[in-house]
Amino acid sequence: MALCVAPAPADAAKKRVATSGLSAVQLECFKQYGAWYDATSKRWKIEVPYYHVGSKMDAIENCVAQRTGKRPAKFIGEKRV
């Protein structure tokens, strides 16, 4: 199983900043594909089988690209467990 992690705002001030712009769009798309906030690590996470990691990451990045009108860019880190 693979675990993909995206940077998340840790405190309230950073959360307010993330509610606008690219960060907000990235977070919306990440949540749309099943991400949740892990309070222990203070990161947004999504678990997917290793054989679906590439397609899931591509789908999230394409979602961001469609909403922003820009080319898809990598913003998700990957950690295998």
Whether residue 16 is predicted with pLDDT greater than 90 in this model: the reply is no
Q: Which residues of 16-42 are buried (b: 16+ CB within 10 A; e: fewer)?
A: eebeeeebebbbebbeeeebeeeeeee
> What are the backbone angles phi and psi of residue 37, rounded to the nearest 5°?
-90, 125
pTM comes to 0.67
Q: How many CB atoms lie within 10 A of CB 66?
A: 12
Tell me what the mean pLDDT of segment 69-75 comes to.
81
* Residue 31 banded pLDDT, cuts 50, 70, 90: very high
